[in-house]
Amino acid sequence: MAKFKNTGIVGLGLIGGSIALGMKKRRISEKITGFSRRPETLEKAKSQGLIDEYYTDFDEGLDGLDFLVLATPVDIIKEYFERIKKHGSKVLVTDVASVKEKICREAFDLLGPGNSFVPSHPMAGSEKSGMDQAMENLFENRYVIMTPGSDTGEKNLESVKGFWESLGAKTILMSPSEHDRMVGLTSHMPHLAVYCLISLLEKEAGPETLYKCLGTGFRDTTRIGKSSPSIWSEIFMANRDNLCFWIGEMEKSLEEMKSLLVKGSRKELESRLKSLRTIREKADEKN
Ligand code: NAP
């Protein structure tokens, strides 16, 4: 049986489009209503069957919804909370933003106590953007981190947990600051480190020859460097304090590697690489 009568999704890109496809496949909502920036996106989403109807006027569509998913870029989300507040809507809302402290602070301050916002961040995605990249199984077996506020109602929390679980995801709870610190390391920092790695290509002369020499390791590691600069610059800015902390840790790590190389002890280097490989293997087992 469908969990919701009419779910609104704002932003029908990779994440919003995948939610729409997943909800359709699993019949999680009787109806899906789309909202976006460009009318072409809405037309395409309707013709491809991701949504049943759409509104170009958010306020007009808001009234009929019993659930709303905000899947826009991070910097736009506040605007939607302002509109929800102004409209006086009490609709159950979640989001998918990759940073949580900023979003939760803005939303909870704006909406006040007893609000119906349950923040989420699915740990699923790719370097690709847009509706054409959407996948109906994107969230299957992936974690969704939820960061409820101190007065988030149990019923609302359970509804949003149930929503993600019906898309095949596993949910975990933490505070927004814990989320931003951890995800700063496990998601934001890899993107930043990859941009640094790619920037080394600029430093070597003769790029044409250099490009022919790119190893599989470079290609695999830097795949995420093809992600949207617009999405990632706003994520980096929104989590910059944590990123600056992790950059400091990365500098120490690079220094450690450099000193092992300078010392010239292969045995010591191999032992360090072995312990790091064990940590990486454990990460697969525990996921
Ligand atoms: P995306 O593929 O670029 O899609 C973004 C969508 O937002 C587009 O459909 C765009 O609409 C729409 N949009 C932009 N401005 C808007 C506005 N003012 N009003 C309404 N819609 C607007 O981006 P994405 O990768 O899905 O990322 C969306 C969110 O998911 C971000 O908050 C990101 O932090 C989070 N996230 C991303 C990943 C990932 O791996 N990509 C993973 C987890 C979470 P038009 O098509 O009409 O221009």
Q: What is the secondary structure of 213-277 as a DSSP string?
A: T--HHHHHHTGGGGS-HHHHHHHHHHTHHHHHHHHHHHHHHHHHHHHHHHHT-HHHHHHHHHHHH
Among protein residues, the one with the nearest Cα to ligand 1's atom 12 is 11
User: What spacing in Å lies between the alpha carbon of 212 and ligand 1's midpoint?
Assistant: 34
The answer to whether 98 and 73 are in contact (CB under 8 A) is no
Question: Which of 36, 26, 15, 39 has the alpha carbon at shortest distance from 94?
Answer: 15
The CATH number of domain 4-174 is 3.40.50.720: yes
Q: Classify residue 80 as exposed, middle or buried by CB count within 10 Å of its CB (0-12, 13-18, 19+).
A: buried
pTM higher than 0.85, yes or no? yes
Instruction: Give the DSSP H or E segment for 75.
Output: none
Numbered ranges of CATH 1.10.3660.10 in the chain: 179-286
What's the average model confidence in pLDDT over 20-26?
98
- For 41-89, how does the pLDDT look when each residue is reduced to its tens digit (9 = 90+)? 999 999 999 999 999 999 999 999 999 999 999 999 999 999 999 999 9
What's the average model confidence in pLDDT over 154-177?
97
Among protein residues, the one with the nearest Cα to ligand 1's atom 18 is 37
User: What spacing in Å lies between the alpha carbon of 70 and ligand 1's midpoint?
Assistant: 9
Which atom of ligand 1 sits closest to the CA of residue 129?
A: 2
Which atom of ligand 1 sits closest to the CA of residue 235?
A: 34
> Distance between CA atoms of 163 and 178, rounded to whole angstroms?
23
The answer to whether 74 and 13 are in contact (CB under 8 A) is no
- For 235-260, how does the pLDDT look when each residue is reduced to its tens digit (9 = 90+)? 999 999 999 999 999 999 999 999 99
Among protein residues, the one with the nearest Cα to ligand 1's atom 8 is 13
Locate all alpha helices (DSSP H) within 89-226, ordered by sequence: 101-111, 154-166, 176-183, 189-199, 207-212, 216-221
- For 187-213, how does the pLDDT look when each residue is reduced to its tens digit (9 = 90+)? 999 999 999 999 999 888 777 888 889
Ligand 1 pocket, residues with Cβ under 6 angstroms: 10-16, 36-38, 41, 71-74, 76, 96-98, 122, 125-126, 129-130, 228, 231, 235
> Distance between CA atoms of 226 and 242, rounded to whole angstroms?
23
Which atom of ligand 1 sits closest to the CA of residue 16?
A: 26
**What values do phi and psi take at 202, rounded to 5?**
-70, -25
Residue 1 pLDDT level (bands cut at 50, 70, 90): low
Helix, strand, or coil (residue 163)? helix
Numbered ranges of CATH 3.40.50.720 in the chain: 4-174
Query: What's at 119, amino acid-wise?
Result: P
Which atom of ligand 1 sits closest to the CA of residue 18?
A: 26
User: What spacing in Å lies between the alpha carbon of 249 and ligand 1's midpoint?
Assistant: 30
Calculate the average pLDDT of the chain: 96
Residue 2 pLDDT level (bands cut at 50, 70, 90): low
What's the average model confidence in pLDDT over 166-174?
98
- For 102-147, how does the pLDDT look when each residue is reduced to its tens digit (9 = 90+)? 999 999 999 999 999 999 999 999 999 999 999 999 999 999 999 9
Which atom of ligand 1 sits closest to the CA of residue 230?
A: 3
User: What spacing in Å lies between the alpha carbon of 92 and ligand 1's midpoint?
Assistant: 20
> Distance between CA atoms of 231 and 227, rounded to whole angstroms?
8
**Which CATH architecture best describes the domain 179-286?**
Orthogonal Bundle (1.10)
Mutate to test the pocket of ligand 1, among 35, 98, 164 (most ligand atoms within 8 A of CB): 98
